[in-house]
A and B are shown apart, each in its own frame.
Chain A
């Protein structure tokens, strides 16, 4: 079952940025089992190849939403598909985000670049269960204002009780939000370090520095989870392409507790 792609129909394609699109998929046959936030699918562009892409949302009963960036042959092919096309999907694979977080938590999501996509279902969870948590904060870092994902959704998220803060690396005057690295926003989201549950997704350097900054502010390492990425191929822990030390990230990740991830991230070329 997990090795044979299921056929999914592309029912919507939204260009998020110059190189990033969001695809909405509906099953042609039986839908795959329910994906949990943080898990990923292997998306297959027929005749080109397969890539691992985290879910960035659900559509209806069996539909999937994936946001992907065109960076290689397969992702370029997938980013170019139009509504009406059929692609292959395998999954769900990997470990999900730890949800729900403990009641009364201050949930802090820190996203860098395309890393916002795997955290988007967590934002949907926070809105749906907002009363469970003491605070819900999303810190978003991007290269420029034009590179922000889902900017039209920020107000909806805020209306749902999620505190959204945005920063970019570069901006011209007129940009109304922050300019600087995402760690400079951390003090806005931590009022009770002992209550924080943090979910980080973005470039590894960004996650490492954010995790360190959180720990410096009193957040327990065990309360921090990161989403790691390696060369996932089979999705079921057999081929070994995604090995990171003792982990096979397609099976033991992508979501990993920081106490496990920290020593692995410190090893060069691992």
Chain B
């Protein structure tokens, strides 16, 4: 089902965008219902989409030889899944599996890149928005590296 601007506006990631930009993104977006245990992508696959999660949960996993799948991070309602479509070499770095029935807005990454190139103002704005997500994830990763709940040293 094609996403409407009203639906896009309700997602926190896009909440600050103007109507015209939302209309352009709506033309390359669909609302998807994802069943649990669905693999959205695998490490190394071409990255050509991103998802704005409305409800449910998706795990980013990595396969470790001898240990199996390890969960890197869970993404739930309000989160953005996928930014590898934005940067070369446009390949996924992890696996993504749906762990709870999930509703999301799926955006065509290749068309979104093209949109950013033809409309630099929108491209800059989206670049800022995705960078904010990246920074938030980086800070969260750094916190986990601190091993705050580990034994005192």
How far is the CB of B55 from the nearest CB of chain A, in Å? 11
CA–CA, A203 and B149, complex, Å: 7
Q: Do A172 and B148 touch (CB < 8 A)?
A: no
From 164 to 182 in chain A, residues with beta carbon under 8 angstroms from any chain B beta carbon are: 167, 169-173, 175-181
Interface residue? A206 (CB, 8 A) = yes
Across the interface, do B77 and A169 meet the contact criterion of CB distance under 8 Å? Answer: no
Instruction: Please name all residues of chain B whose beta carbon is closer than 8 Å to the beta carbon of A71 when the two chains form the complex.
Output: 151-152
Query: Closest CB-CB distance, A177 to chain B, in whole Å?
Result: 8
A147 to B59, CA, bound (A): 21
Q: How far is the CA of A183 from the CA of B79 in the complex (A)?
A: 13
Q: Are A187 and B78 in contact (CB under 8 A)?
A: yes
Q: When A141-B149, A142-B149, A172-B71 are in contact, do A209 and B57 touch as well, CB less than 8 Å?
A: no
- For chain B residues 102-153, which have a beta carbon within 8 Å of chain A? 140, 143-144, 146-152
- Whether B19 sits at the interface, judged by CB under 8 Å, is no
Residue of B67, B71, B78, B99 contacting most chain A CB atoms (<10 Å): B71
Q: Across the A-B interface, how many residue pairs have beta carbons closer than 8 Å?
A: 71
Q: Is B15 an interface residue (CB 8 A)?
A: no
Q: Which residues of B contact A169 (CB under 8 A)?
A: 144, 147, 149
- For A113, A170, A177, A179, the residue with the greatest tally of chain B CB atoms inside 10 Å of its CB is A179
CB distance from B53 to the nearest CB of A (A): 11
- Inter-chain CA distance A166–B74, complex, in Å, is 12
The answer on a CB contact under 8 Å between B149 and A181 is no
Contacts of B70 in A (CB 8 A): 170-173
* Interface pair B148/A179, CB less than 8 Å apart: no
CB<8 Å pairs between A and B, sample of 19: A112-B149, A113-B148, A143-B149, A173-B68, A178-B57, A179-B59, A179-B72, A179-B73, A180-B140, A181-B140, A181-B144, A183-B140, A184-B74, A184-B76, A184-B79, A187-B77, A203-B148, A205-B143, A206-B148
